[in-house]
Amino acid sequence: MKHLIYINILLLVLTCQTSVVAQEELSANIIDEVVAVVGKNYILLSDIENQYLQMKMQGGVQGSESVAKCQLLENLLFEKLLLHQAELDSVEITPEQVNSELDRRMRYFIQQFGSQEKLEKYYDKTIIEFKNELSDVIGDQLLVNRVQENITMNTQVTPSEVKRFFKSIPKDSIPLVSSIVEVSQIVKKPPISFNEKFEVKERLNKLRDRTLNGESFEALARLYSEDPGSAKQGGDIGLHGRGELYPEFEAVSFKLNPGEISEIVETEAGFHIIQGIEKRGEFSRVRHILIRPKVSPVELAESRIFLDSIAKQIRNDSLTFEDAVKKFSTDPSKNNGGLLINPMTGSAQWPVDQLDPKVFFVIDKMNVDDISTPVLMKDEKGEESYRLLYLKKRTQPHRANLDDDYSQIQDWALQQKKQETIFNWISKNANKTYIKIDEKYQDCNYEQNWF
């Protein structure tokens, strides 16, 4: 149960796309009610039912339904206790942090579905609608994680504690470590040509002239905007506050009066024209038409040829991979030697089942120290470039041992010690906080004394 409490907080937002479905399925089937109160925070019956449905959809229910729901309630009690502590400590999360995390989650979901269009089609919701529905959830989760980090920030394990932890694991229960790889890359992203940017601006200027001559901005956005999230809404991105959009876009959008149309605005996403819709205090609502400049097929082919020549030099020992990364890679990963960083762990080590399938398909056929041929890739914005992949390290599946897997075992030991730290913190703070639990849930076999 201790393990479940800590991990559930981290996984809740990862599964929030299923919560949208869960809420829709439950809304017509239950009568909501408050089942627990922690400080000023309350837990609804629908909170438990939503998470239970998520677990069922993902095959994560173990044991009876009543036991599972009791465990979920205890997780929620812990979450609300952390939120209560955030209020006491005046912990704050900025809109920029919420929006950044929303963007990160959306990129993760889009990657799982293969494209933004597939995600939106599957749930019949735009990215903007997803963000609006999940922003409060994300904000609470960031507060929860911040307080949880504060609780465990000074928790460390010594080498002797790591050894003691490993020796405490029964031999027949020592985990099997899957194949781990470390992969580096050299990315060659062709620059957008001046002519391409000029042509995109010309197209936008013509669309702007059409709107100024009376054509519907909304209709033209549906036809020509390359922002799939807002195009189907006539370019409408909904209400937004400051710090939520690209700075260049936001600076213009807050100045526009209803119906006013901007000049061309350039951001990381491409080129826009923006039309004001309304202003509400510190919020603005606009619609836009986005056109992204494209890399020409010729320049893309030149990048492939260039990387092919670099790969030959490395194979012939006339150039090291490390030097090639520094000199030629156009990706931010060049600052850490081109290493692909696992976002789940923050390290360069990847269990093969966590790799991007396109990367795995290439390195699966390689030996350690091999360099791939140039591989076509797409970034988060859908822009194409080529990259070389270098297989730096690969381990074989095996039972964990202190010689080969010390860092992994150290992490396990640290997680256990953090669990104990959090468990002790709950025991201490639950006794000092107003907590009320509905009678129907007072017979649960809780790990903590919440009463």
Q: Establish if 34 belongs to a structural domain.
A: yes
Residue 285 shares a structural domain with residue 316:
no
Confidence of residue 329 (pLDDT cuts 50, 70, 90): very high
Final residue before a domain boundary, out of 264, 291, 318: 291
The parent domain of residue 377 ranges over: 179-191+296-396
Which is more confidently placed, 25 or 285? 285
Q: Are residues 215 and 90 in the same domain?
A: no
> CATH number of the domain that 223 lies in?
3.10.50.40
Give the chain's domain count.
3
Residue 311 maps to a domain: yes
Per cent of the chain over pLDDT 70 is: 91
Distance CA 369, CA 391 (A): 5
Instruction: Select from 291, 308, 340 the last residue of a domain.
Output: 291
Residue 60 has a pLDDT of 65
Residues 125, 128, 129, 134, CA torsion sign:
positive
CATH number of the domain residue 120 falls in? 1.10.4030.10
User: Residues 66-79, buried b or exposed e (16+ Cβ, 10 A)?
Assistant: eebbbbbbbbbbbb
Strands 375-378 and 384-394, by their bridges, are: antiparallel
**284: helix, strand or coil:** strand
Structure tokens at 91: 């912990």
Task: Check residues 63 and 440 and name the one with the higher pLDDT.
Answer: 440
Residue 59 DSSP label: T
Question: Per the structure block, which two tokens stand in for 13?
Answer: 């937002």
294-304 confidence digits (pLDDT tens): 888 888 999 99
Q: pLDDT at residue 431 above 90?
A: no
- pLDDT score for 30: 57
In this prediction, residue 29 carries a pLDDT of 54
Contact between 109 and 119 (Cβ < 8 Å): yes
Residue 185 sits in the same domain as residue 199: no
Q: What is the 3-state secondary structure (H, E, C) of 337-397?
A: CCECCCCCCCCCCEEHHHCCHHHHHHHCCCCCCCECCCEEEECCCCCEEEEEEEEEEECCC
User: In terms of domains, do 74 and 149 share one?
Assistant: yes
Of the candidates 330, 366, 420, the residue with the CA atom closest to the CA atom of residue 1: 420
Three-state DSSP at 206 gives helix
For the chain, percent of residues with pLDDT exceeding 90: 47
Residue-level pLDDT at 22: 44
Same domain, 243 and 264: yes
User: Is residue 419 in a domain?
Assistant: yes
The top-scoring range by mean pLDDT among 51-60, 114-123, 156-165 is 156-165
Do 327 and 245 belong together in one domain? no
Structure token digits, residue 86: 């955030």
Does residue 144 share a domain with residue 17?
yes
Residue 17 to residue 204: CA distance in whole angstroms: 35
Of 291, 318, 339, which residue is a domain's last? 291
At residue 18 the predicted structure's pLDDT band, cuts being 50, 70 and 90, is very low
Residue 168 domain-assigned (yes or no):
no
235 sits in the region (left: phi over 0; alpha: psi -120 to 50; else beta) called: left
Query: Is residue 169 a part of any domain in this protein?
Result: no
Clarify whether residues 7 and 151 are in a common domain: yes
Asked whether residue 29 is assigned to any structural domain, the reply reads yes
Length of the chain: 451
Query: Does position 21 have pLDDT exceeding 70, yes or no?
Result: no
- Of 209, 241, 206, 236, nearest to 221 by C-alpha is 236
Do 146 and 264 lie in one domain? The reply is no
